[in-house]
Amino acid sequence: MTKSDMKKILIKGLLFVALFFIVDRVSGYVFYFLEHKALQHSPNGMITEYTMEEVDSDVIIMGASDALHSYVSSIIEDSLGMSTYNCGKDGMRFYYQNAMVNGILDRYSPKLIIWSVSPVFLSAPSQEDRDAISDLNPWYRTNEFCRNAILMKSEFEYIKMMSYLYAFNSRLYAYLYKCVMPDYSYQPGGYAPVYGNLPDSKMEVRDYYDEDGLDEKSSKVLLSTLKRCRDAGTDVAFVLTPRYESGEYESISQYTELIDICEEYDAEIITDLFRDKDLLKPCYFKDAAHVNHDGAVLFTEKLVGELKALF
């Protein structure tokens, strides 16, 4: 390669980087604008954005799809007399949920957080779980908890996150769609019912011992979040949400650690609905991991009874 070639590459390369930098920044502003437009038009369909920026309810339901489809916000609201919002989101696990809770605490202190969990809540995150954290990308620059979660994805994530286009990857159509079409799959309060039920079938036996073990980092992160909740005067109730399955879980490390953490920080953990005999019927389940609307109503009514006794 000649010297003039090298000079040409250097000059053109720098110019190209400068051009891309400008385009990237402008795109970032456009994405932020679209995000706010979409949020105004369809708050329920923009769960992450709504949770991070707008929710102000007394009771917050946090979790993954099991939370979203199992906790009927209106029943809790009517029974406890407190405004309730279901912030559950499909496929989002512990680190996402933790960032959401901290994002809420940055803005205000809810009275109660109902945190839907499974016995393996504190397991090591899978690659899919890490990938799902991308939902937090828009808050990388503004929220410490989101940033910490995002940086777990890979060792080079901090370089990738320099680009706004990368941060808003796969969001354009979602924002445009939400700007045009309101999301009808949600009820007021963020609850999203699912319908249909399992055929009469034998209950699946799940071997919890065969799964990934306790993730110590998760338990440390949870401890600091619970401390923050305690300092903010926010009560936390973990709830083992019912699943149509059986299997021994009481002595797995993830579960015993969760119990210990709850004891340490005076957080409640409601476990008896997990294997409630009235609920564990195929007619109440859409699939093994999710109750249907009828199941959600029955489960929420039972849960409210327990919550009233506790708080």
Partner 1 sequence: MTFTSFNFLIFFPVVVILYNIVPAKWRIWFLLVASYFFYMNLQPVYALLLVAVTGFTYFSTRSIDMSDKEKTKKRMMRWGIILVLLPLLFFKYFAFINNAISDALVSSGLSLGLPKIELLLPVGISFYTFMAIGYIIDVYNEEVECEKNIASVGLFLSFFPLVLSGPIERAGNMFPQFAKMQSSKYSDLVKGAKLMMWGYFMKLCVADRLGIYVDAVFNNIANHNGTTLAFASVLYPFQVYADLGGYSLIAMGVARCLGFAVIPNFRRPFFATSMSEFWRRWHMSLIQWLTDYIYTPLSFILRGWKIWGIVAALMLTFLISGIWHGAALTFIVWGLVQGVYLSIEAMMQGKRSKFEKKHGLGEKWWYKLVCCIVVFVLFAFSQIFGRCANLQDASDVIGKIFMQHGPLFLDVTTLGYALTCLAILFIIDFRDEFLPNRFRLFESRYIVVRWLSYVAVIMLILSFGVLDSGQFIYFQF
Binding residues for partner 1, per CB under 8 A? 1, 5, 8-9, 16, 19-20, 23, 27, 131, 134, 153-154, 156, 159-160, 163, 165-166, 168-174, 177
In the complex, the smallest distance separating the C-beta of residue 123 from partner 1, rounded to whole angstroms, is: 20
Closest CB to partner 1 among 181 and 283?
Answer: 181
Closest CB to partner 1 among 24 and 53?
Answer: 24
Closest CB to partner 1 among 21 and 209?
Answer: 21
In the complex, the smallest distance separating the C-beta of residue 198 from partner 1, rounded to whole angstroms, is: 13
Gap between the terminal Cα atoms of the chain: 75
CA distances from 65 to 15, 103, 119, 171 (A): 46, 19, 15, 20
What is the spatial distance between Cα 185 and Cα 193, in angstroms, rounded to a whole number? 7
Closest CB to partner 1 among 27 and 148?
Answer: 27
In the complex, the smallest distance separating the C-beta of residue 173 from partner 1, rounded to whole angstroms, is: 4
In the complex, the smallest distance separating the C-beta of residue 77 from partner 1, rounded to whole angstroms, is: 31
What is the spatial distance between Cα 48 and Cα 62, in angstroms, rounded to a whole number? 11
In the complex, the smallest distance separating the C-beta of residue 245 from partner 1, rounded to whole angstroms, is: 19
In the complex, the smallest distance separating the C-beta of residue 181 from partner 1, rounded to whole angstroms, is: 9
Closest CB to partner 1 among 104 and 149?
Answer: 149
Closest CB to partner 1 among 9 and 232?
Answer: 9
